Each structure stands twice: as structure tokens, then as C-alpha cells.
Structure 1
Amino acid sequence: MKVVYSDLHRSHVPGDVVENGVSRPSRDVPERMDAMLRAVKQAGLEVVGAADHGLEALSAVHSAEYLSFLASAYGEWKGSDLPGRVVPAAFETRPEAYRDSWSIVARAGFHLRDQITPVGEGTWDAAYWAAQTAITAADLVVNGERQVYALCRPSGHHAGPDYGGGATYLNNAAIAARRLAADGKRIAIVDLDVHHGNGTQDIFWDDANIFFASIHRSPVNYYPHFTGFREEMGGMSAEGANMNHPLAKDGGDEEYLVGAEAILDAALEHNPAAVVVSLGFDALASDPAKGLSVTEEAFEKLGRLLGGVSLPVMLVQEGGYDPKSLQHVAARFLDGFCSLR
């Protein structure tokens, strides 16, 4: 299996963020990728660099206004003599309210949905190359690879058509899926991160060709709070192409694995040409996300489940924030995933 990686993710250094009114260090640190890269090398997998495919594939998922904002926000913020990084102070999410003439503060409050998603000096470069990592991996699948792993940082599944959130900026999995869906192919996305992939759901809500299924801790009192409920099944033109499988807090191995198998089965029933997996390790019991209390053993079983899929499978890295366990859980997952090669 080929693993796509870019060292340019290191330019994104979020620093301190604010969640639920409390300041804390961001969990999305460059060392996350170091741990996963060690797991990849431990597994003996081939690492290839990301190629630059430009903005076209990004524009197929995200609005021009949002991409322009991400690329220029930090410079405009500093040019307005504002301190630190770009962090919204007030929020407006109604699309009809948007004005091109808004200040950088106003546009930050439209395009960023929380205060754990700051834009710093190197954020755009890191997000851009995370997306290029996903595009490169998707092209490997198009060219015949059966299993590919995109080591993306920052993660992406909370980023929607014109917004970022949940420490994500560009939706890497969605960009890859749209790339794979060229010529009308049906694609399935399976999201295994502990948080609901609200951005991915939003992007494909009305797209019947892209089936999206997510298993996650219930959004009741848990990020992203507003989406991820069972009754969300897709828009009028794509009803049934969206599936959510929320679990109770600390659900544990059995509930997580049974749910993962259920959403994978549903995805395969969509008859896709390939499966994109939003792979998060933050359901691990030791992860600071404190969501589902899943063990490393369960992630190895999850790897075997996904590795047994007969279709092309593209893994896209999402969350996973426990620095002490991340390498070990990633290695266990890869042991399972690659065991059937």
C-alpha cells in the first residue's frame, strides 16, 4: 500500500484555542503526523510525496469566497493591525447575509464556525497541501492502486462548502471523493472518526452519487452539536444517501465495531466504484476527545474489516490526539488493514 504524505503540514501551528469558554492548547500538533508516519514505516509501507494539482479540485467542493478567505485571511488580519491569529469574535452563518465588502473580522465570523479553528501564518499552506495529499492519493486509486492512505493534516471532515470548523479547513475526504466520482461514478464515504463529519454531510447532502455514512459519539453535548442524528438521511434529491449511526458516550468496542460494520455494509450496498474512509483514531479510550472508549484491539479488528473490502479503499486521516498512544493504535490498525494483502 502506498502512503501519501507532505511535510508542509508543519506550517500549521494553531497554538491555544477556546472551547466551551475555556482556553487550552490545540490538540492538532505536528507531532500527530510524526507518530502516524512512524507507524507507517513500522508497517513497511511505501511513502510517496504529494503532487501539486492546483485549485481545481478544491473548487469542486468549496466556494471561491471561502478559498479566497483562507488564502488571504492572515495577511488581511495583520494588515488591519489585529493581534495574534485569525479567530472569530462574532458569528453570522446565513448565506443570504454574506457581503463581499465585509471586514476580515466579519468574514472570519462567517467562514469559521468556532474558536478552535484559528487561521495562522502557515494555515493555508498546510491545508492546501493536506488537500493535495488527498488528491494525489485519489489519483493513485484512479490509476489502479487498490489501497492508498492519505496522511492529511489538518483534518477535514468538519469543513463544509464555505466554512471551516472543528480544527479543519479543507475537506480532504470530500475533495478526494469528488475527484473519484468523475464521469458519474458512485462513491461511498465511511466516516469512523469519533465526531460526526458534518462538513462532509453538508457537501454531499443533495448528491445521490456520493453515499455518506458516519459512526460517532452522539452530538448531544458533543461536537459538532447540531448534526449527526439518525433522522438525517439526505436532501430531497438524495434521500437515503446519508446515514448516521450515533453511539452513547463511552460506547466501547462492541458497539463501535458493530456500528462500523453496519455503515460499511450500507455503503457497499450503494454499489460504489471505491470507498473513501475518513479515518480517526480519536475514539480511542485514552484520547482527550473522551468519546467512545474504544481499545487498540478494536482498531486492529476495524483494520481487518476495511482491508477485506474487495473494492479500492482510500484512507484519509482525520482525528487522533493522544500522543502517547497514537503510533501504537495506528500500527495496530495497519496490521489489521494490511493483513489480507
Structure 2
Amino acid sequence: MKAVYCDRHRLHSPGTVVEGGVARPSRDVPARLDALLRAVRRAGLAVLDAVDHGSAPLAAVHTGRYLDFLAASEGTEHGPLAPAIFETRPDAYRPDWSPIAKAGYHLRDQITPLGEGTWQAAYWAAQVALTAAALIRAGERRAYALCRPSGHHAGRDFGGGATYLNNAAIAARALATSLGRVSLIDIDVHHGNGTQDIFWEDPNVFFASLHRSPAGYYPHLTGFSDETGGQPAPGLTLNHPLAERTGDAAYLMAFTACLDAALAHRPAALVISLGFDALASDPARGLQLTADAFGTMGNRLGQLDLPVLLVQEGGYDLATLEQVATRFLSAFTGDG
């Protein structure tokens, strides 16, 4: 099995962010990917460099004005660019707005700043996912995209939740274009609101997300069980919100339900938005999973008789991240 990596992720350094009116250090630090890369090597995966597939696959998922905003925004003389005010009316957009006005239109929060290297890091994270998807298209049965920044909170015309480009959605759409139907399961602790936005009306992509309930938890506005897809794709979105202190047993039941539904879509490939932040020790403080649960999920996914692409999302406990990722990957490849 091969993993795809790009060292340009280090160009993104968010520094201090604001969440709920409180300033704190960003949890998305380069050491996250260092830990995951060590896990990849411990699990015996071959590591490949990302290949540049250009901007067209990005434009197949995100709007042109959003991509232009990201590419042109590298912060200000006072530091990274973040919203000072939020515009929520879709029809209010003006192309002659200042960068900070566009930030208030395109970014959903203040934990997603744009710094000097953010666009390059996000662009190459998407290329990591596309390179891994190309391996699947070429006949590989398993591949792992080591993406940073993560992507699942980024929608068609917006970013948020420390994400800018939706790596998993970009890869899934590329696979659907060439292979046909695709299923995508998000096991990050947070709802994949950006992925849901992108595939809400897409009959070729089934999307399931199991996550801590958005009642009082990020992204707050989406991820409820009655969100099931738009008119062209009814029933192709499945949300499985979980109570705050959900542990292994209930989580694995929800995972089984999501996996069964994803397979019922009869996909040509399965994409997994792989977050490790449901771990009990993670600072996201969402759920109470142990490493055993991730080992179980890795084993189940590894035994599937269809191609599976892993795309990295969250996971912020640097003390345990390498160990839990090694556990998952070893089980996924059949060595654990």
C-alpha cells in the first residue's frame, strides 16, 4: 500500500486563532503530519511525493471566485487574514470588495486564517489527495493521502474549521468522473459540513458522516439526522450524530450503519475522511473512543472488496496520534 505526502504542508502556520471569542493556539501544527508520517512508516507503507494535477479538479468542486480569493490572500501587514465581520447573504457578493470583506464572505469562522503559505499548503494538500486518487484509478486497491490542511469543512464557496480546500471531495469527484458511483464516509469527530454542501445534489456520490452532535459543537449548523440530500439526490446523505461522551460500542454500531448504507450505493470506490480526533484524549473533546475502535474500523475497511482511499482530516493529540494511526493503518493493511 502507498501513502502520498508533500512537505509543502509546513508552509501553513496559523498561529493564534479565535474560537468562541477566546484566543488560543491553532491545533493544526506541522507536527501532526510528522506523527502521521512516522505511523505510515511503522505500518510499512511506501511513501510517494504528490504530483501536480493542476487547478481543474479543484474548480470541479469549488467556485472560481472562492479559489481566486484563496490564491490572492496571503494575510496583511498585521498578520494572517481572518474575518472582521461576516456577510451571510449569498447575493451580496461584490468582486470589488477588499480582501478582509471577502474573508467575511468566504470564511465561516476565525479559526481559519489565511497566512503567507496557506494557499500553497492547501493547494498541495489537494494534489496529495488527487495523486492518491490517481493510484486508485490506475488499479491500486488501497491508498492513503496525508493531507494538511484538512478539508471536510470547506464547501463549494467557503472555508472554515481550519480547512480551505475539500481534499476528500476533490478526490471523490475525480474518482466519480472516471469510475462512476463513489461513496464517502467521514469519521472525523466533526460533521463534514463542507462535503455535505458539495455533494448535496450529486446523485453519483453517497455521503455519510458520523460525528458528535452539532448541538453545541462545531460546525453547529449542520449534521442533524434529518439532513438527507437535495432533490436530485434524495437519501444520498446520511448523518449519524452522536452524544457527547459516546464510546467505542455505540460508535462502532453507527459506523457499521454508515458503512452498510455506503456499500448499498454500490460504489466503484470508497473514500474515507479519516479523522483521529474522536479519540478520548484529543483536545477536540468530542467523543470517547479508544485506539481499539480505530483498529476495528481499520480492519473492517481493509477487508472490503473494493478500492478504498483514505484522506486525512483531523487528529490533534500529539502524544497519541502516531500510536492510534499506526494501529488503524496496520489493521487496514492486515498487519495489525
Cα displacement (A) at 1:309: 1.1
Q: Provide the C-alpha distance between the structure 1 equivalents of 2:255 and 2:163, rounded to a whole number of angstroms.
A: 23
Tell me the residue number matched to 2:46.
Answer: 46
Q: 1:242 and 1:315 mapped to 2: Cα distance?
A: 19
Residue in structure 2 matching 1:305, options 294, 300, 303: 300
Q: Which residue of 2 is the match for residue 98 of structure 1?
A: 93
Report the counterpart of residue 16 of structure 1 in structure 2. Answer: 16
1:110-166 C-alpha deviation (Å, 9 max, x unpaired):
111100000000000000000000000001000000000000000000000011000
Task: Detail structure 1 runs of 4+ shifted over 6 Å in the superposition.
Answer: none
Matched, 1:134 2:129: yes
CA deviation digits over 1:5-41, x for unaligned, max 9? 0010000000000001110000000000000000000
User: What's the counterpart of residue 252 of structure 1?
Assistant: 247
Q: Which moved more, 1:279-288 or 1:301-310?
A: 301-310
Deviation, structure 1 residue 93: 2.5
Unaligned runs of 5+ in 1: none
Matched, 1:331 2:326: yes
| Aligned mates of 1:280, 1:265 — CA distance in 2 | 20
Deviations 1:232-253 (A, max 9, x none): 0000111100000000001000
**Cα distance between partner residues in 1 of 2:171 and 2:64:** 18
Matches within 5 A, 1:108-147: 108-147=103-142
Alpha-carbon separation, structure 1, partners of 2:26 and 2:100? 21
Which of 316, 322, 325 is matched with 2:317 structurally?
322
Equivalent residue number for residue 296 of structure 1: 291
Equivalent residue letter for 1:96: D
TM-score by length of 2: 0.99
Tell me which residue corresponds to 1:2: 2
Say whether the 8 Å CA contact 1:253–1:294 is kept in structure 2: yes
Answering whether residue 226 of structure 2 is matched by residue 195 of structure 1, we say no
- What is the one-letter code of the residue matched to 2:274? L
Alignment partners' CA distance in 2, 1:127 and 1:247 = 30
3-state SS, counterpart of residue 73 of structure 2:
helix
- How many equivalent residue pairs? 336
**Matched position secondary structure for 1:58:** helix
Q: Which residue of 2 aligns with 1:55?
A: 55
SS at match of 1:181: helix
Residue number in structure 1 paired with 2:171: 176
Q: Which amino acid aligns with 2:5?
A: Y
Note if 1:213 corresponds to 2:213. no
CA–CA distance in structure 2, aligned partners of residues 151 and 184 of structure 1? 22
- Whole-angstrom distance in 2 between the partners of 1:184 and 1:253: 34
Instruction: Give RMSD over aligned pairs.
Output: 1.1
2:65 corresponds to: 65
Alpha-carbon distance change, 37 to 184 in structure 1, aligned in 2, over 3 angstroms: closer
CA distance in 2, matches of 1:44, 1:340: 9
Secondary structure of 1:189 counterpart: strand
1:131 partner SS: helix
The code of the aligned residue for 2:139 comes to G
- In percent, how many aligned pairs have the same letter? 64
* Preserved contact between residue 261 and residue 305 of structure 1 (Cα < 8 Å): no
Letter in 1 for 2:249: E
| From 256, 272, 279, the counterpart of 1:261 | 256
> CA–CA distance in 2 between the matches of 1:60 and 1:35?
31
The verdict on how the C-alpha distance between 1:147 and 1:184 changes in structure 2, with shifts beyond 3 A counting, is closer
Residue from 141, 144, 153 that aligns with 1:158: 153
CA distance in structure 1 between the aligned counterparts of 2:63 and 2:171, rounded to whole angstroms: 16
For 1:252 and 1:8, locate their aligned partners in 2 and report how far apart those are by CA, in whole Å.
Answer: 35
How far has the Cα of 1:255 moved from its partner? 1.0
The one-character-per-residue Cα deviations of 1:267-315 (angstroms, maximum 9, x if unpaired) are 0000100000000000000000011110011111110011111110000
C-alpha separation between the residues in 1 aligned to 2:178 and 2:142?
Answer: 21
CA-to-partner distance for each residue in 1:61-117, whole Å, 9 max, x for gaps?
00110111101112xx53xxx511101010012221111011111100011110000
